[in-house]
Every structure is written in structure tokens, then in C-alpha cells.
Chains A and B, each alone.
Chain A
């Protein structure tokens, strides 16, 4: 069975601090995809990144970076120099390559960035 664990329920930081959101996943499939989505207070789910299981290269996009480590089944997300607009709930999700199209989400981490 597939499972995603986001152990941090809530994180609160002060603007300009760096913050890392943890994600640990479980799957028996060798081919899978990992995602991060952002849910701002307005409620929509915004796609941030997709990673496939064969690509362990870390990725950086502006202030965002992702660290994928298969050895620890983790796909962590770091925001550098956080801003108030980063305040949101962040979800990690897993999709396996088999017939299923079902995204399995973690419970989310609520990030509050205070001015």
C-alpha cells in the first residue's frame, strides 16, 4: 500500500527564516512520482513540483528547493528566506506508475510565516 507521512503538523517561522518541510513515503513500486502542492488560505491546490523515482537530482526553483533521497524514502521541501506569502498548507503526494491514477496525499503541514 502507498502512504505519505508529513510528521510536522504546523510550523511557524519569522520572515526571512529558512524552513524545511518533511515528507516520507512508502511504496513497493519501483516506479513512482512524488509531488508537492500548496494550499493557500483561499483554498485551491497549486501544483509546485513533480519528481520521478529515477531522478534523485535535487531541484531548485527560486527560493524553493527539493531534496529527494530514495535511501530514506524522503522528499523534503525547503523554502529559503521565507515570506508572508508562503503561508499555506503544503501537501506532499505520491503517484505510482501502475494502473492507478490516484494521488495519495499526506496530511499536510501548515506553514505560518510571521512578519
Chain B
């Protein structure tokens, strides 16, 4: 069964460092997302990406964050200068098979990357 793959599973970094979280969405999906979950809290939307551009972002997604789809398979989230409060589980999701419009609403999630900022 196709799945969303995220690497690494755990990333430890020092405050102020740049990190890149990587995701391989389900093949032929058209919409890509990043969400985060601070320990013990609910899952929060960060950004959605479609047709090689950001389609929506939350207030959390400030100038320190950026997303990119550098090739046909990877989707990355970059945090330019990490802060302690960026420590969280980051989930990538994808949806929307080409040619099947209604299916865009089911977002399939990866296993997450746990980011620890020290």
C-alpha cells in the first residue's frame, strides 16, 4: 500500500541551527501539507502546497519556515533558525490523485519527524 515517507524519524539540533525535514508523498498525489504536534497537544496545520506553490499557510508558518519540492518526489520543510519552541513532531501529508477530484480531501500522513531543539 502506498505511504508517505518521512526522514529522519528523529532530529536533534541546537537552537539557531537550520534543519530540513524531508518527505516523500504518495506517488501521483497533487497536494502536500505540513502539520506539527507539540508534545501532548493537538495537531496543527502549517502549510499546504499545490502546483509548486504555497496555497495556504497558518500564522505559525512565519519567515523562518519554507517549503520546497526540489524534484518530482521530495517535499521538504526548512526551518531557518530553530527555536526551543519549534520542538515538536512534524507530519507530512499528501492527498489528491490526479484526475480524481473528490479524493483530494483524504490526507494521508507520514510517521512524522520528531524535532528536538536544545
Q: Which residues of A contact B (CB under 8 A)?
A: 33, 35, 37, 42-47, 50, 91, 93, 95, 99-108
Contact = CB atoms under 8 A, between A and B. Distances in A.
Interface in B3-48: 31, 33, 35, 41-45, 48
B108 interface: yes
B100 interface: no
B45 A107 contact: no
B111 A102 contact: no
B109 A106 contact: no
A44 B43 contact: no
B111 A105 contact: no
Contact of A106 (B31, B42, B56, B58): B42
Interface of B: 31, 33, 35, 41-45, 48, 50, 55-56, 58, 89, 91, 93, 95, 104-112, 114
Contacts of A43: 89, 111-112, 114
A37 B33 contact: no
A63 B103 CA distance: 25
B109 A44 contact: yes
The interface centre, meaning the residue of B33, B48, B50, B109 with most chain A CB atoms within 10 A of its CB, is: B109
A42 B41 CA distance: 16
Contacts of B50: 101
B109 A47 contact: yes
A105 B43 contact: yes
B43 A101 contact: no
A96 to B, nearest CB: 10
A43 B41 CA distance: 13
25 contacts: A33-B105, A37-B109, A43-B89, A43-B112, A44-B110, A45-B91, A47-B107, A47-B108, A47-B109, A50-B106, A91-B43, A95-B105, A99-B56, A100-B56, A101-B33, A101-B48, A101-B55, A101-B56, A102-B58, A103-B45, A104-B45, A106-B42, A107-B41, A107-B42, A108-B42
